[in-house]
């Protein structure tokens, strides 16, 4: 156990934090709340920005190729940092292993100008949550991306990220449009009715068609009801949270 703690201090600290949160403690809020530090590495002018505040959240995807570009500036040259983001229940998840440009120590290191850049590939972070572990794939939410001092686990700076179902809503709108077109076609057939007897149809054939038409109408009515229910069901999933673009 001693060797494990010495070799993996970050993993052990995060595990203890998560355990505390599961017991109802407030460690999660504390670690994700920026605070002043007297550490010599902290300049007080550090900042972090992302390429876009809105992240394309693919509902329940087992693995997402969506990327978040991240830039940091104002850090002391050589300053090492790690990146944490709150997952579904609000617990902090260390995502540094899943970003580019990390060092052999699994940290991001500021260059001579005090800046760094990285790309986070979401991967399995957006999968639907099952049990204890990272990910919250069935929920759109605001999250906090925090830049952490790996030595003290203090938050140096942070930035918001809005996880929104952008591509999901495009696909949903396309599905609705396709169903509505199909519904319109069936409704047109129903409204047209049997009509008048064509001159090239025999009386016997017309009598047979007339006899069976009520059954055909019933089938059309059933299709209309089914398609209408499908359209309404899909439209019910089009609601957009306040933090996401319409």
pLDDT tens digits, one per residue of 198-238: 888 888 888 888 888 889 899 999 999 999 999 998 888 77
122 and 207 in a single domain? The answer is no
> Using DSSP, how many helices (H) and how many strands (E) does the chain show?
5, 9
Domain finish residue from 164, 195, 219: 164
Bigger pLDDT: 12 vs 64: 64
For the full predicted model, state whether its pTM sits above 0.85. Answer: no
Looking at residue 9, its pLDDT comes to 55
Question: Residues 6 or more apart from 78 whose CB is under 8 A from it?
Answer: 109, 110
Looking at residue 89, its pLDDT comes to 61
69 and 160 in a single domain? The answer is yes
Question: Residues 6 or more apart from 66 whose CB is under 8 A from it?
Answer: 55, 56, 57, 58, 121, 122, 126
79 and 138 in a single domain? The answer is yes
Nearest to 121 by CA among 155, 103, 97, 104: 97
147 and 176 in a single domain? The answer is no
* Mean pLDDT for the chain overall: 79
177 and 73 in a single domain? The answer is no
69 and 108 in a single domain? The answer is yes
Beta strands 54-56; 155-164: pairing state: parallel
**Residue-wise pLDDT tens digits, 47-92:** 999 999 999 988 777 788 899 999 999 999 999 999 999 866 667 8
Q: Residue 85 is part of which domain span?
A: 2-164
CA distance 62 to 107: 26
Looking at residue 52, its pLDDT comes to 92
Q: What is the CATH number of the domain that holds 14?
A: 2.60.40.1930
Q: Is residue 244 part of a domain?
A: no
Say how many domains are in the chain. 2
**Residue-wise pLDDT tens digits, 136-170:** 555 678 889 999 999 999 999 999 999 888 888 88
150 and 191 in a single domain? The answer is no
Q: Is residue 243 part of a domain?
A: no
Residues 47-80 as b or e (16 or more Cβ within 10 Å = b): ebebeeeebbbbbebeebebbbebebbbbeeebb
Looking at residue 1, its pLDDT comes to 39
Q: Is residue 246 part of a domain?
A: no
98 and 7 in a single domain? The answer is yes
156 and 173 in a single domain? The answer is no
Helix (H, G, I), strand (E, B) or coil at 4: helix
Domain finish residue from 138, 164, 190: 164
Domain finish residue from 164, 187, 222: 164
**Residue-wise pLDDT tens digits, 99-130:** 999 999 999 999 999 999 999 998 887 776 54
């Amino acid at each position: 156990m001693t060797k494990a703690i010495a070799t993996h201090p970050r993993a052990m600290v995060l595990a203890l934090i998560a355990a505390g949160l599961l017991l109802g403690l407030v460690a999660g809020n504390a670690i994700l709340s920026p605070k002043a530090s007297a550490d010599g590495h902290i300049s007080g002018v550090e900042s972090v920005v992302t390429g876009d505040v809105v992240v394309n959240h693919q509902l329940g995807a087992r693995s997402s190729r969506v990327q978040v570009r991240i830039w940091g500036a104002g850090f002391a040259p050589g300053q090492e940092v790690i990146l944490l983001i709150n997952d579904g229940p609000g617990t902090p998840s260390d995502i540094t292993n899943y970003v580019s440009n990390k060092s052999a120590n699994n940290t991001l290191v500021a260059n001579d100008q005090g800046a760094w850049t990285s790309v986070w590939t979401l991967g399995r972070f957006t999968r639907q949550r099952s049990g204890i572990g990272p990910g919250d794939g069935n929920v759109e939410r605001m999250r906090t991306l925090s830049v952490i001092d790996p030595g003290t686990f203090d938050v140096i700076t942070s930035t918001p990220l809005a996880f929104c179902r952008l591509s999901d809503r495009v696909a949903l709108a396309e599905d609705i449009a396709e169903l509505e077109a199909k519904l319109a076609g069936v409704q047109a057939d129903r409204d047209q009715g049997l009509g008048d007897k064509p001159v090239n149809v025999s009386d016997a054939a017309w009598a047979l068609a007339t006899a069976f038409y009520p059954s055909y109408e019933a089938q059309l009515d059933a299709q209309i009801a089914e398609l209408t229910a499908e359209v309404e069901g899909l439209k019910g999933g089009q609601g957009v949270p306040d933090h996401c673009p319409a």
